[in-house]
């Protein structure tokens, strides 16, 4: 199983709304993530807007491609794009660049 961790930055003026939006993630989005192979997916948000994402999957690129093929992902990403800084014209999901794992205690 591949462990993936990534960072994004939520705009300071949208942090509270971002939290509220994630209290009730669309059921069809949750189902699509599961079907695409996203397991143990978690988001952690620091007070300054630093967002840390973590997931486990067999193949991150395949899991991301499976989500890219869904209509619900396109709608969710379009709805959420305004929450983030420094996307450089990408959607939030495309801006997820995995960090290099340097240690894991199994």
Nearest to 84 by CA among 20, 22, 5, 14: 14
Instruction: State the pTM of this model.
Output: 0.91
State the total domains in the chain. 1
Nearest to 35 by CA among 80, 6, 1, 69: 69
Q: Is 104 an annotated catalytic residue?
A: no
42: β partners: 54
Domain carrying residue 75: 2-83
pLDDT at res. 36: 98
* Residue 2: band (very low, low, confident or very high) from pLDDT cuts 50, 70, 90: very high
100 is a domain residue: no
| Active-site residue (options: 7, 17, 19, 22) | 22
pLDDT at res. 55: 98
30 is a domain residue: yes
* Residue 91: band (very low, low, confident or very high) from pLDDT cuts 50, 70, 90: confident
* Residue 101: band (very low, low, confident or very high) from pLDDT cuts 50, 70, 90: very high
58 is a domain residue: yes
Query: CATH number for the domain including 18?
Result: 3.30.70.100
CA dihedral 85, 89, 95, 100 (to 10 degrees): -90
């Amino acid at each position: 199983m591949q462990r993936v961790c990534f960072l994004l930055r939520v705009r300071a003026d949208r942090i509270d709304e971002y939290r509220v939006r994630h209290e009730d993630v669309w059921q069809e989005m949750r189902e699509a993530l599961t079907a695409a192979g996203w397991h143990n997916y978690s988001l952690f948000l620091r007070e300054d807007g630093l967002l840390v994402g973590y997931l486990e999957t067999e193949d991150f690129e395949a899991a991301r491609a499976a989500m890219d093929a869904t209509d619900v992902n396109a709608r969710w990403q379009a709805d959420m794009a305004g929450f983030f800084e420094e996307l450089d014209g990408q959607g939030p999901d495309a801006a997820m660049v995995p960090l290099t794992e340097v240690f894991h205690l199994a």
